[in-house]
Amino acid sequence: MSRQQDEQGVVLTAYTSNSEALPAISCKEQTEFLGASRRTGQYNVQRCKGSGKAPYQRCSSQDSLDEQAMVDYFKEVEIIQRSGDAETQEDLQLKVADEGEQEEAWLMEAGLATLFDESASDGEDSIVLLSTLTRTQAAAVERRVETLKQTLRKRNKPYSVPDVREIFKPSPASQSKDEAGSTERSASSKQEVEGLGNGAGPDTPGGGADAETDINLEVSFSEQALIYKEGLKVTQPQNEADDRLPDFRVSQDKTGQTRVGDLSAEDMKKVRRLVLIEMSALFDTCGIEVKAHKALKVKVRESGLFGVSLSTLLEQDQRRILGTKVPLILQHLISHIEEQGLDTEGVLRIPGAATRVKAVCHELEHKFYEGMFPWESLKQHDAASLLKLFIRELPYPLLTVEYFNAFISVLKLPTKKQQLQALNLLLLLLPEPNRDTLKALMEFFQRVTDHKDRNKMTLNNVAVVMAPNIFMCKGFRSKISEQQEFAMATGTANIVRLLVRYQNLLWTIPKFVLNQVRKHNMENQRKMNRDRAVKKLLKKMAYDRERASDKQEKNTEAEGGFIRVQAPQFSMVSMAIQLTEDLKASDVLTRFLSQERSLSVKREDLCLYEMGGNIKERCLDEETYIKAVLELNPSAEWVIKSVQH
């Protein structure tokens, strides 16, 4: 590979036919992208004898990851290169979307295809979705509709893209309400950003430092970013060592935290659409352009363990164990590494013997599903090498082709908080198999770092060793120069650091998104009722009024009395529980278990669900206050079910 560096610095490209798959970043810009410190000079990595490669030259700025960490990064790159696994299958090829094609794909994915195609079947749902958007989210939609409109005009093609002013034109009745809501949201956002009420100290004038570590999940992230952009001075983020990464705080919400997997598939579909719009709005607000790409189809293996797509692997595994969400081979490798002890020095960093790893890989392919593989003879470092090989051999990146650029661009955001918010949104956009597999890996990496005093694997160490395995998808290294590879090194390692360090925050659904889903569901219900035949509608309205009256009476009684909890899976079909201000989901489960003594299900396998009303179903975390949820969803019913973790 030849070096490609001009006077203005390094230009990053993705691995694509027209060299545009990654955002372009110059040395001058790496202070932002790589979170550089002020050190200057050259940085050399000693290569293995016979590699024939010149040492890497250091840019004028460098991330705070220390030099030894970078040595470990490029040692890992050298190991990957020597293994030759990147050449065993056809390289993944990426295609940059044509002008206008990206906007069409975005609108379709966001459930807004009707904005450019009147024949689309989701017209009514699109109108409802649009009614839930914030001002920054609406601006993101407007921008893409207008871009598509201009593209079609250039091509002299007939089009039916509506005027963006008509799309978001409010009705007279709702305009004043929306303006009031917008003002209230802006004031709330500004208060959160400025850190009002957090108590200022000598180092935190006005409470600003506290605001930087307080995560507000009730206000749209892009709205918060707009407040920063419009009126606040923002210092550039400084990257910290493991023990100096900020401890972000989320204020306790009485309605409970909503984790990935807590909602129904139907509601998660709405979450994904809203999150796509919100993620785009966040990058738009910060002036960062992210181009999505798509993979050209390549021939991949249709069975086996290594080099097989996640969807194919899970199909194989689910035929053996129903409900499998993470590939069994990955689960076994993680378990084996942990069984042999995470105190082993250099676990994940020290490679196994290359010839032995290849032989074990071949043996696993033939014996794993038959249960004949001799796990007791597998050395720990070989197992770690196989785990990394599994990730690299995936035919499509674990972070997906579509969002690969967005992950890379996260560190361009001006604050650590915004970087975390962007990662939170991106994780929710990943397909379920990718998201679950990535989560299993991050949890494992955290357990490795928990033993850092003995295994010498700090968060930095784990991040630099795993970053090239996660980010250098198949065939990637053959398409970029060494200088470009160095420019990516600290950036990708920092992203892995954030994914591991803040995973308890990242795999959750922000409350403002959930509130938009609730609003979407309520609007859908109203619209369905309005669209029925007049006679049926009148009957339904009469029935609904009677039922609503009953429910109102029931809920009024509940506020000062009892709630009824259903448990249809168990012998105790239902039970009444007194409703108090302090009643939590954990209290309901404790009461249930005290009465259902013959129950064989473990406590951790039970969940209290909020069902009906403005949500399809939602598994409540045990710290959720029941009365707070009732205020948010007066028509909710309560059901205890067993869940599969």
**pLDDT given for residue 461 in this prediction:** 92
**pLDDT given for residue 48 in this prediction:** 38
Structural domains in the chain plus CATH codes = 560-642 (3.10.20.90)
Distance CA 375, CA 364 (A): 10
The residues pairing with 37 across neighbouring beta strands, listed in sequence order, are 62
**pLDDT given for residue 422 in this prediction:** 97
Neighbouring residues of 254: CB distance < 8 A, sequence distance ≥ 6: 624, 625, 628
Contact 460, 449 (CB under 8 A): no
Identity at 214, one-letter amino acid code: D
Two structure tokens written together for 218: 């009730």
- The per-residue pLDDT for range 455-476, each reduced to its tens digit, is 999 999 999 999 999 988 765 5
The residues pairing with 214 across neighbouring beta strands, listed in sequence order, are 249
Distance CA 223, CA 395 (A): 37
Distance CA 245, CA 238 (A): 10
**pLDDT given for residue 75 in this prediction:** 83
Neighbouring residues of 406: CB distance < 8 A, sequence distance ≥ 6: 279, 283, 290, 292, 422, 426
Contact 408, 22 (CB under 8 A): yes
Surface-to-core class of residue 119, CB atoms within 10 Å of its CB (0-12 exposed, 13-18 middle, 19+ buried): exposed
Closest to 464 in 3D by CA, of 68, 53, 41 = 68
**pLDDT given for residue 84 in this prediction:** 63
Contact 2, 485 (CB under 8 A): no
Two structure tokens written together for 57: 């030259």
Q: At what angle do helices 482-501 and 459-471 cross, to 10 degrees?
A: 120
Strand blocks (E) in 323-445: none
**pLDDT given for residue 620 in this prediction:** 96
Distance CA 604, CA 583 (A): 19
pTM of the model: 0.81
The residues pairing with 617 across neighbouring beta strands, listed in sequence order, are 611
What would the DSSP string read from start to end of 566-621?
Answer: E-TTSSS-EEEEE--TT-BHHHHHHHHHHH-TT--S-GGGEEEEEEETTEEEEEPP
The residues pairing with 250 across neighbouring beta strands, listed in sequence order, are 215
Q: Pick left, alpha or beta for residue 203 (phi over 0 → left; psi -120 to 50 → alpha; otherwise beta).
A: alpha
Contact 221, 475 (CB under 8 A): no
Query: Strand, coil or helix: what is 115?
Result: helix
Identity at 109, one-letter amino acid code: E
The residues of the chain scoring below 50 in pLDDT are 1-63, 86-88, 171-183, 185, 189, 192-209, 233-237, 549, 552-557, 559
Element (H, E) at 381: helix 380-393
Contact 370, 309 (CB under 8 A): no
CA-CA distances (angstroms) from residue 346 to 171, 342, 384? 63, 9, 10
Q: For strands 214-215 and 249-250, give the pairing.
A: parallel
**Degrees to nearest 5, angle at CA 44 with 43 and 49:** 170
Identity at 401, one-letter amino acid code: V
Strand blocks (E) in 19-131: 36-37, 62-63, 93-96
What would the DSSP string read from start to end of 469-503?
Answer: HHHS-TT-GGGS-HHHHHHHHHHHHHHHHHHHHTH
The residues pairing with 293 across neighbouring beta strands, listed in sequence order, are 96
Neighbouring residues of 513: CB distance < 8 A, sequence distance ≥ 6: 271, 274, 275, 278
- Residue 563 CA, chain-centre distance (Å), reads 35
